[in-house]
Structure 1
Amino acid sequence: MTATADFIIIGGGIAGVSVGARLAKDHSVILLEAEPALGYHSSGRSAAMLIENYGNPVSRELIGMSAPFFRESDEFGPVPLVKPRGDLTVAYTGEETRIASIVDEGKGMESLSPEEARELVPALRPDRLIGAAFEPGASDIDVEALMQGFSRQLRDRGGRIELAAPVEGIKADGANNNGGWVISTPKGDFACGTIINAAGAWADRVAVMAGANPVGLQPKRRSAALIRLPDGMDASGWPMTSGIEDRWYCRPDTGRLMVSPADADPVDPHDAWPDDTVLATGIHHFEEAMAIEVTRIEHSWAGLRSFTPDDVMAVGFDPECEGFFWLAGQGGVGICTSPALSLIAAQLSTGQSPQGAGELIARLDPGRFGKA
């Protein structure tokens, strides 16, 4: 028997579960996730932070719109979704102009001397360090609590989540005079009026299955490793720290230090794993900046961040494929933009116009890509 819903969401990352929670308040929703768990590929591997000066202008606007939810909402209970951390970008000889522009053009940024930067992160090597830009309001995001909150809300509002249900086929429902779709999975067929394509790195492939043109998504790998700190070194209070050249960053993580080479290597959609050479190069740059010798990696992993051709996410109805809605290409800001972006997507997919966001909506429109 075919299960039916107003909306079927393909993809169980943060994009899918958050828009599903919004839509389930007033509509029937089924979410299909190919893997045996939600947030398997990208959302579940993210070391996300709420950094309002991160990303392109559209991303920053959406992060700013999401910030009150993270800092003030008790929608998922009394436990805070964020904890203060701070974000420190360090600069070296020859980078004076760049670090000054980061402070001048940023929101709530502070300019720090080398001595002030080393007060925050004593392990920074003083050689050639000329200063830093500091965003004191940056915070850690509890990704697990956010995912659980949205998925619980989706279910509590009557939504249905099907795990281990990869999409095998999509066809227009010719038997329905009002239009719609039939989606085939190993768990059976599902019918709906509107598909929400929140399939992350696989979103272009889902589009082709539905007869829509791809937008030209490019998945890019981001790797990370967990390292042990030297005996007696306590980094729990350190901010997120990165070099201005974007070749490494680190952040405290449960008594260890998470280090990333800040890689963005183009790859095909797959279950990502770290490249040992890329990871070693990033750790080398980390050791050049920090007086910490990495002798052992305790754990390493990688995830995929997917980008559109202009690095701005695609959110809206496909211009040529009726009933097919894009929610893809978040490019590494899916977690920190999810409260605002899910609300915008829910409004657009139900024919509403988000108030005061006309220019933003135009920037998100997937129709800007034409035929990829």
Structure 2
Amino acid sequence: MSNWDIVIVGGGIAGASLGAEVAGKRRTLIIEAEDHCGYHSTGRSAAFFLESYGGPQVAKLSSASAAFLANPTADFADGSFLHKRGGIHLSEGDWPEVPADVTAYRIDRAELDRVVPGLKPHWIKALVEPGCADIDVAALHAGFLRKFRKRGGEVRTSARFESAAFDGQNWTIRLADGSELSANILVDAAGAWADEVAERSGVRRLGIAPKRRTMVQLRVGQTGLKELPLIDDAEGRFYFKGETDNSIWLSPHDEIESDPCDAAPEEIDIATAIDRFQGVVDWPVERVERTWAGLRSFAPDRLPVYGFDTQVSGFFWCAGQGGFGIQTSPAAGKLAASVLLAEEPDPSVAHIDPAVFAPSRFG
């Protein structure tokens, strides 16, 4: 049996970003069920930074992550993870709203027509969020794993978690192949499987619910779209952004309840996405080029969960990142690490109250 200070279940963006912060201070192992890390939600992200997404508490994590995403340290990456795109929130009625600290401004219909030619007339108000950007998710995730390994962390793939038992001081962790590990702290960064990992560890579920999100790449009869801003509906019914000169990435912004699984798109959700898109612009849909789906996992109050379980002291939650796990990962990793290690937080997150994200909020 191999012995560790910390074992993290899950090698996606949550486990990798936290692991990168703690590996240099504790003997840390990441176990990942798949044959490579980031196979599920992390590898299927729509890959954009939108500071307003997730509400005011999540926006604090996003804002605290922005500087690192734009200008990572030289030992982490060669250049920025962001490509500025800009975002436009559309409305058929009232002006769209964003958290107070997020930079945004209103534009009139004439300017809107210039940016989004062919926009249908019932979209009468728009708010521009200039800070919206594409994220190089693969490079960011790889950077966290590289930092984790450089600091002495170890990653084991094809290592499916089976169960764990806590004796008050140490965990005995059993993998699906029958092998066992020992650790002082067990971190649940298992994404859609977070509640399942908790239950198999004798820890009560928090209600972390996986939701399926559908993505469609459409070729359309309109050109000049590669740098098209992210366009979304203030009511949360769609978003799309440019991909190539005449194709877009589109989502119906769906959150379909799902069991933890290798998510796949369903025909009805693809049809819904296209139908909603055709209610926004008059661009002819020429063909569906590809489709995919991923699971976003939310706690009951839709805030992430970072902290020790209230009943089992050696169990640490790092789960419920919803659709904002990528864009908040630099700050979330540092904030969660400060709680896990009982250390002063990094200055970049010192203004954020970790109690807002603690599992104790669920009673």
Give the TM bin, normalised by the shorter chain: over 0.9
After TM superposition, the runs of 4+ consecutive aligned structure 1 residues lying more than 6 A away are none
Which residue matches 1:69? 68
Distance 1:182 1:358, change over 3 A: farther
Distance 1:218 1:248, change over 3 A: same
TM-score (norm 2): 0.94
Which residue matches 2:35? 36
Which residue matches 1:238? 228
- How far is 1:352 from its partner? 1.8
Counterpart selection for 2:142 from 145, 148, 155: 148
Check the 8 A contact 2:55/2:99 in 1, yes or no: no
TM-score (norm 1): 0.92
1:165-215 alpha-carbon deviations (Å, 9 max, x no partner): 11112122x5xxx71111111452111110111000111111111111111
Q: Secondary structure at the match of 1:343?
A: helix
Would you say 1:159 and 2:158 are equivalent positions? no
Which residue matches 1:247? 237
Q: Which amino acid aligns with 2:357?
A: L
Distance 1:123 1:161, change over 3 A: farther
CA distance in 2, matches of 1:105, 1:19: 28
Which residue matches 1:202? 193
Counterpart selection for 2:301 from 294, 297, 310: 310
CA distance in 2, matches of 1:368, 1:184: 30
User: Matches of residues 1-372 of structure 1 in structure 2 within 5 Å?
Assistant: 2-74=1-73, 75-92=75-92, 95=93, 97-99=94-96, 102=97, 105=100, 107-125=102-120, 127-172=121-166, 174=167, 179-186=169-176, 188-230=179-221, 233-255=223-245, 256-354=247-345, 357=350, 360-370=353-363
Gap regions ≥5 residues in structure 1: none
CA distance in 2, matches of 1:180, 1:295: 58
- How far is 1:300 from its partner? 0.5
- How far is 1:153 from its partner? 1.0
- How far is 1:154 from its partner? 0.9
Gap regions ≥5 residues in structure 2: none
Q: Which amino acid aligns with 2:266?
A: D
Check the 8 A contact 2:308/2:316 in 1, yes or no: yes
1:237-258 alpha-carbon deviations (Å, 9 max, x no partner): 2100112222111012244310
CA distance in 2, matches of 1:212, 1:151: 28
CA distance in 2, matches of 1:183, 1:264: 33
**Identity rate, percent:** 37
> C-alpha root-mean-square deviation of aligned residues, in Å?
1.8
Q: Which amino acid aligns with 2:79?
A: V
Aligned residues: 358
